[in-house]
Amino acid sequence: MKVFVLGPLEAELKAEAEQFGPDSYRIKSLRAEPGGEALILAYYLKGFGCHVHLSGSVGRDHWGRMITQRARKVADSAHIRTLSISTSFRLKLADLGPQVVELIYEGAGSKLTLSKEELLKLKPDWIHLTSKAVAGRNGRKNLRAAELASEELGSILSVDFATLGKRARLGSSSAIAFCEEGSCEGSSLSSRIAVIAAGERGCYSVVDGEVVQHEGLGRGWGEGSREAFIASFICAYYRTKSVEASCRAANYAAYYKSLRRGLTARIPFKEIMKRAEKAAEEER
């Protein structure tokens, strides 16, 4: 299966810091690695055996070069636009007791663009737009381009609404919508199929208005768990066409990822897909 992914590419910065004033922090060490929804998702899709085309944008700086190099290693093909603004980054300050401070600079990652012609040329079997791909200034245009291309190609379209709620608009009821519990409002539930992530409690599926809970494995999600969850659902659904089996696979992927540190980690990709296929057979 060939999957097209449009989304932000970011530098993930983790700093050990100490507070020495009401609003002042001293950084003791800083570590940077390539990240962003699209790049992490591409890693897990590739692990499940998909052919991945990654599209995103970075700035003309060191982080942009670092991310571009990583993207071309992770994905089978990549279209990385280099813009005149700085690369997006996410800075997490740790060692502040129970408090975790996170600073986000949207930068080049907020300038995502997509055309129908680009998709028609690539001919993907599945088109996935991350939440930032439909939230920015070009969000509606990106979504419309994906809808038109998916209809013409007969491809499956999925959109991650994350916490966008009513701010997003999905015109194609045949698309699959991903969102999070407590933020699924309006358009994200107008899709024929919606998958609602609920962390350690698993997820809910909404198919033609019918809501079903799929129990999780009782472990909270960590960084990268959401991307592993979505990647697993995409690959399982393409193989089985079963929402039930795909939700089970997605819960397993998020669970296994929560056991491992880092944005990306090796999880039992083949075992997860075998479980999905077995569940689909039992369902029939």
Per-residue pLDDT of 229-272, as tens digits, reads: 999 999 999 999 999 999 999 999 999 999 998 899 999 999 99
Q: How many CB atoms lie within 10 A of CB 208?
A: 7
Outline where DSSP puts E strands in 36-83: 51-59, 77-83
Question: Residue 102 pLDDT > 90, yes or no?
Answer: no
* Residue 97: pLDDT band with limits 50, 70, 90: low
Per-residue pLDDT of 36-61, as tens digits, reads: 999 999 999 999 999 999 999 999 99
String of b and e for 176-188 (b: at least 16 CB within 10 Å)? bbbbbeeebeebb
Are 114 and 143 contacting, i.e. CB atoms less than 8 angstroms apart?
no
* Residue 185: pLDDT band with limits 50, 70, 90: low
Percent of the chain predicted with pLDDT > 90:
65
Consecutive H or E run containing 282: helix 269-283
| Cβ-based neighbours of 21, under 8 Å, separated by 6 or more | none
Are 50 and 1 contacting, i.e. CB atoms less than 8 angstroms apart?
yes
pLDDT on residue 98: 64
Per-residue pLDDT of 68-79, as tens digits, reads: 999 999 999 999
Nearest to 189 by CA among 154, 226, 164: 164
pLDDT on residue 1: 96
